[in-house]
């Protein structure tokens, strides 16, 4: 089988391209990338492109595994879009509950994030003193906000809750399991309920079994 490595050595410019019926359909212009052959312009001034996977063999000609008529029906007039390499693909970004619960009532969002941080704290080893301190401080702060009538939260308290969510949005991100809003999709893993006094239960995922280093 012809590969992109030996294709560069075998396929040269101006080589005839023939089908399985020995009918010549074009001439090689050059290799486009690693897996596409660009053909010289036809009588109408149009380039065409065929994939390297069509090539059966190469001698003084490029032999394609289909007839000339089939080639001309299936070739492309535009270069294919290059697929990103593994190196170029962006790593998936973690989704935290602050983003996952966007659009939900503020108390619901805070309760979900609070339970998420509590789970992260429980998963942390006692030796990780700095990370535990950050989590304990965040939980202490939010506990003061979650007092009084949570069905009718004053605007000033709601603003403080929003600020707390943003300040702790990425706290212990690697140590927590992302929350999926029930309104938009299922959670990936065992679930439990967080009860919001104002809106009812919100589903969250259980913390992972093994702890990981938190990302502060």
How does pLDDT run across 66-77, given as a tens digit for each residue? Answer: 999 999 999 998
Let me know whether 104 and 179 are in one domain: yes
| Residue 81 within a domain | no
CATH number of the domain encompassing residue 16: 2.30.30.240
Domain that holds residue 115: 97-205
Let me know whether 107 and 192 are in one domain: yes
CA 51 to chain centre: 28
Let me know whether 102 and 185 are in one domain: yes
Look at residue 182 in the predicted model and tell me its pLDDT: 47
Let me know whether 105 and 31 are in one domain: no
How many domains in the chain? 2
| Residue 106 within a domain | yes
> What's the rounded Cα separation, in Å, for the pair 180 and 188?
8
> What's the rounded Cα separation, in Å, for the pair 140 and 149?
19
| Residue 88 within a domain | no
Look at residue 46 in the predicted model and tell me its pLDDT: 93
| Residue 64 within a domain | yes
Look at residue 34 in the predicted model and tell me its pLDDT: 80
Query: How many angstroms separate the Cα of 27 from the Cα of each of 23, 79, 177, 214?
Result: 12, 16, 56, 59
Domain boundary among 29, 59, 74: 74
pTM of the model: 0.41
Look at residue 97 in the predicted model and tell me its pLDDT: 76
| Residue 92 within a domain | no
| Residue 60 within a domain | yes
Low-confidence ranges of the chain (pLDDT < 50): 175-216
> What's the rounded Cα separation, in Å, for the pair 105 and 72?
59
Look at residue 194 in the predicted model and tell me its pLDDT: 43
Beta strands in 69-190 (DSSP E): none
Let me know whether 48 and 127 are in one domain: no
Strand-pairing partners, residue 171, are none
> What's the rounded Cα separation, in Å, for the pair 164 and 70?
64
Look at residue 26 in the predicted model and tell me its pLDDT: 93
Let me know whether 141 and 52 are in one domain: no
Please report where in the chains the tokens 């005839």 appear, as a residue: 16
């Amino acid at each position: 089988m012809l590969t992109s490595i030996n294709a560069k050595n075998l396929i040269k410019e101006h080589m005839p391209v023939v089908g399985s019926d020995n009918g010549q359909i074009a001439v090689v212009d050059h290799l486009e990338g690693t897996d596409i052959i660009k053909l010289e312009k036809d009588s109408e001034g149009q380039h065409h492109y065929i994939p390297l996977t069509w090539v059966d063999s190469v001698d003084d000609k490029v032999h394609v595994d289909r007839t000339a008529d089939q080639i001309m029906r299936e070739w492309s007039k535009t270069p294919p879009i290059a697929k990103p390499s593994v190196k170029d693909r962006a790593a998936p970004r973690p989704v935290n509950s602050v983003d996952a619960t966007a659009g939900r009532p503020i108390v619901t969002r805070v309760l979900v994030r609070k339970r998420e941080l509590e789970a992260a704290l429980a998963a942390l080893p006692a030796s990780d003193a700095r990370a535990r301190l950050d989590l304990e401080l965040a939980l202490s702060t939010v506990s003061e906000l979650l007092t009084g009538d949570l069905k009718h939260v004053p605007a000033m308290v709601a603003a403080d809750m929003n600020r707390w969510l943003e300040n702790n949005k990425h706290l212990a991100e690697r140590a927590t399991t992302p929350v999926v809003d029930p309104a938009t999709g299922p959670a990936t893993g065992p679930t439990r309920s967080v009860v919001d006094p104002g809106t009812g239960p919100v589903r969250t995922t259980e913390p992972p079994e093994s702890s990981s280093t938190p990302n502060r």
